[in-house]
Amino acid sequence: MSQPSVLFVCLGNICRSPLAEAALRARAVEAGVAITIDSAGTGDWHVGHAPDPRAVELARKYGLDISGYRARQVRDEDFHKFGHIFALDPQNLKDLRRIEPSRHIAEVRLLMDLVPGRKGTAVIDPYYGDEQDFEQAWADVCAAADALVKRYSG
Ligand code: 4NP
CA distance 66 to 103: 33
Tell me, using a 6 A CB cutoff, whether residue 10 lines ligand 1: yes
The range of the structural domain enclosing residue 51 comes to 5-147
How many domains, in total, are found in the chain? 1
Please work out whether the CB of residue 13 comes within 6 Å of at least one atom of ligand 1: yes
Tell me whether residue 143 is in a domain. yes
Specify the pLDDT at position 1: 59
Is 98 inside a domain boundary? yes
Task: Specify if 152 maps to a domain.
Answer: no
Residue 67, domain CATH: 3.40.50.2300
Looking at residue 150, its amino acid is: K
Instruction: Report yes or no on 154 lying in a domain.
Output: no
For residues 135 and 149, give the distance between their C-alpha atoms in angstroms, rounded to a whole number: 21
Q: What angle do CA 77, 79, 80 make, to 5 degrees?
A: 65
Determine which one of 15, 16, 27, 142 is catalytic: 16
Q: Determine, yes or no, domain membership for 153.
A: no
pLDDT tens-digit profile of 63-81?
999 999 999 999 999 999 9
- What is the pLDDT tens value at each position of the chain, 154 positions in all? 589 999 999 999 999 999 999 999 999 999 999 999 999 999 999 999 999 999 999 999 999 999 999 999 999 999 999 999 999 999 999 999 999 999 999 999 999 999 999 999 999 999 999 999 999 999 999 999 999 999 998 6
How close is the Cα of 2 to the center of ligand 1, in Å? Answer: 32
21-41 pLDDT per residue, tens = 999 999 999 999 999 999 999
